[in-house]
Chains A and B, each alone.
Chain A
Amino acid sequence: MASKKIDKKDIAKLLSLWSQQFAVFTPSQASGVATMAKWDGKDASFLDWYRNTVIPPKANFLPAMEEMFGFQKDREGYHIELLPSNERKQLIFGVRPCDAKALAILDMTFKEAYEDPYYLPKRSSAVLVGLGCTNPYDSCFCTSLGISPAQSTDVDLMLTDIGDEFLIEEVTDKGKELIAKATEVKKASKEEEAKAKEVKEAARQKVTRKIDTEGIGDRLLACFDDEDYWEKIAAKCISCGICTLLCPTCYCFDINDELVRQQGARFRSWDSCAFPLYTKMPMENPRLEKWRRVRQKVCHKFKFYPMNFGVIACTGCGRCIRLCPVNWDITQTLESVPVKV
């Protein structure tokens, strides 16, 4: 299948075309932090600075805060008011392969484990336009998890930066449809396709951080009860939620109701297993000690999730390493897990 291409100068026109059908999201720093925000309709200057967002694209489908329904209270009881769904289908432009894979991993929880009525409608109608990395961070380690920084099968269109243009590969039919009527999209030449191949390989080479995931689940299980080991590993963690809240594959959420006089609402919001009260129950808290929570986080991602769903719940995006207040590094932890004798 021949690839297509588009001039970088024409990206804004393409986004405009898509805005007719979709709510288009692009990388943006306008709010004060790099995130996928509604495209301002004007320009594509984000291409100048964009490496990856701080807030992962999971926020588009599992927002940090979501009102599930409202309710009224009166003498007869509670009357639930479902919120009208006035949301347009989303198109997210610029999704990195690690984040795209992460969404596929999230789908296993929200689609297969159970069907989440808030996540699914948004997710199934959404279109992802992937953008391959040319300049990975030193915290990236996607290649160790079977992911290429420059290629993805979890998006609908895959873009590769070949200089003044993007090479476009149609990954799904949805993607094909997206550019079927786009006049700025042209056929790519063999040279351009070859250039893209070079760019992709160069990106792979730039990912220097590596971990060995061979049998990592079993290795973790083998040292599971080694309290001293985990205490040492957990010593500098401060139990904030940054690594988990900003992890593109983490999905834990909390549900809270609020009733003020006669009006109320039920909210879903991000929660973190790193918080001390995460597992607090009336009688006890099984993860009161910090080392248990740190152990749980590592084992969930590299042992229990693969055990249940067949895939490691980490895509090597490196956000946890870059943003951790104390530079706690999961790759260092994984490397320190004793190799089974």
Chain B
Amino acid sequence: MEQRLRHEAKALLEQGKVDWIIGFEPGSLKFTTTPLITNDKNDADRLVINPFIVNNLANFLTEVKGRVGIVAKGCDSRSIVSLIQDNKVLRESVVILGVPCLGIIDLSKIERLVTKDRNELDDIIREGDKVVIRVDGEKKEFPTTQALFDNCLACEFPTPQEYDILLGEPKPAAPNLAQSRENIEKLEGMSPGERWDFWKNELNRCIRCYACRNVCPACFCQRCFVEETEPQWVLPVPRWQDNLIFQIVRNIHVAGRCTDCGECQRVCPVNIPLRSLAREMYDLVDELFHFKAGMDKDARSLMTHYEEKEAEEFFR
């Protein structure tokens, strides 16, 4: 896949079909990749595809000007489609280089499994349904269900639905919803008061870095509601009340456009389980309106559509 990607990306730039290529290149830390945004065809040889291509590159589409050749995993391609539904991105201005995805390895899970930090590991390889870790001369094996990101475990669409070039064989979906929703199930078992206390406790350590918002492709407002001063909905001060309101409203704002890519939770520097909120909204939207984000580029987005009769149970 990687060779094909480099070849295609180079060709796209050479033939002037795109102005930019957005993909992944090796990062500066072990087992890390980093976004590569380039208009230089010679950079195409730096592109990689591996189990650590974690970022949702669709995030850059609302910022990069011109036509873009973009590497997209299943979830990412749905984010692109969602942006097309929102009229933020024109289909003709992107060339989607689809990557059928086997799931991305969650380094923090690996670190917990072997109780060592990432830089102390020699190698991490995915072999079929197992992840093999070489550390201190030893080999340790774990099933992928213990090593992949939670949202990857729930993935129903690993192969991009919308693409121009598919870089590999389509992968079948094998969602393990139970595993993926473990935290959410735990929360659903609590009483409302307990749940509120849980979120109060979690959001207490939020420092309002806004990484969750900035990494989300669905958040592209030029002026976010948290930055609004007339009226001032929330102060920039990281009080748990304001932090919780920020998260609640952000999730409502991206409802129907969130593809559960899991980035918000991954990037949070203080380990707030944001995906439990995002996934809950994702399931709620599916349950109420039978809508999944980014499936059909010609469909209307969740909030611009309505049926004659729906959701009546919420109104007196």
- The answer to whether A and B come from one shared complex is yes
Interface residues of A (CB under 8 A from B): 31-33, 35, 51, 54-55, 64-65, 137-139, 235-236, 238-242, 245-246, 254, 256, 258, 267, 269-272, 275, 277, 290, 321-323, 325-329, 331-332
**Within 8 Å of chain A (Cβ to Cβ): is B289?**
no
What DSSP secondary structure best describes chain B's contact surface?
loop
Q: Do A32 and B211 touch across chains, with their CB atoms under 8 A apart?
A: no
Contact A242:B55 (CB < 8 A) given known A138-B30, A327-B28? no
In the bound complex, residues from chain B placing their C-beta under 8 Å from that of A245 are: 207, 209
Contact A139:B29 (CB < 8 A) given known A241-B209, A325-B267? yes
**A51 closest partner in B (C-beta):** B117
Contact A331:B28 (CB < 8 A) given known A65-B238, A269-B237? yes
**Within 8 Å of chain A (Cβ to Cβ): is B179?**
no
A272 to B302, CA, bound (A): 34
Contact A54:B270 (CB < 8 A) given known A240-B215, A328-B34? yes
Q: Do A246 and B37 touch across chains, with their CB atoms under 8 A apart?
A: no
**Within 8 Å of chain A (Cβ to Cβ): is B214?**
yes
Contact size range, B: 35 or more
- Assuming A32-B202, A321-B28, what are 13 further A-B pairs, CB within 8 angstroms? A55-B270, A139-B29, A139-B119, A240-B213, A242-B211, A246-B209, A256-B236, A258-B237, A269-B208, A269-B237, A322-B29, A326-B34, A331-B28
Q: Do B269 and A54 touch across chains, with their CB atoms under 8 A apart?
A: yes
Residue among A55, A138, A238, A327 making CB contact with B211, cutoff 8 Å: A238
Q: Do A256 and B237 touch across chains, with their CB atoms under 8 A apart?
A: yes
In the bound complex, residues from chain A placing their C-beta under 8 Å from that of B267 are: 240, 242, 325
Interface centre among B30, B37, B205, B214 (most CB of A within 10 A): B214
**B272 closest partner in A (C-beta):** A32
Residue among A235, A238, A271 making CB contact with B236, cutoff 8 Å: A271
Q: Do A137 and B117 touch across chains, with their CB atoms under 8 A apart?
A: yes
- How many whole Å from A200's CB to the nearest CB in chain B? 20
Q: List 29 A-B contacts (CB under 8 A).
A: A31-B205, A32-B205, A33-B271, A55-B270, A64-B208, A64-B238, A236-B34, A240-B209, A240-B267, A241-B207, A241-B211, A242-B211, A256-B236, A258-B237, A267-B235, A267-B237, A269-B237, A270-B208, A275-B210, A321-B29, A322-B29, A325-B214, A325-B215, A325-B263, A326-B55, A327-B27, A327-B32, A327-B33, A331-B28
In B173-210, the 8 Å CB interface with A consists of 202, 204-205, 207-210
A224 to B255, CA, bound (A): 42
A136 to B207, CA, bound (A): 25
In the bound complex, residues from chain A placing their C-beta under 8 Å from that of B51 are: none
In the bound complex, residues from chain A placing their C-beta under 8 Å from that of B297 are: none
- How many whole Å from A238's CB to the nearest CB in chain B? 4
What DSSP secondary structure best describes chain A's contact surface?
loop
Residue among A64, A238, A258, A269 making CB contact with B214, cutoff 8 Å: A238
A254 to B208, CA, bound (A): 12
In the bound complex, residues from chain A placing their C-beta under 8 Å from that of B239 are: 65
Smallest CB-CB A-B distances: 5 pairs: A240-B211, A138-B119, A325-B267, A327-B34, A33-B270
A326 to B29, CA, bound (A): 11
**Within 8 Å of chain A (Cβ to Cβ): is B35?**
yes
- How many whole Å from B245's CB to the nearest CB in chain A? 14
Q: Do A33 and B269 touch across chains, with their CB atoms under 8 A apart?
A: yes
In B230-246, the 8 Å CB interface with A consists of 235-239
**A270 closest partner in B (C-beta):** B207
A239 to B59, CA, bound (A): 12
**A32 closest partner in B (C-beta):** B271
In the bound complex, residues from chain B placing their C-beta under 8 Å from that of A277 are: 227
In the bound complex, residues from chain A placing their C-beta under 8 Å from that of B28 are: 321, 327, 329, 331-332
- How many whole Å from B236's CB to the nearest CB in chain A? 6
- How many whole Å from A95's CB to the nearest CB in chain B? 20
- How many whole Å from B296's CB to the nearest CB in chain A? 28
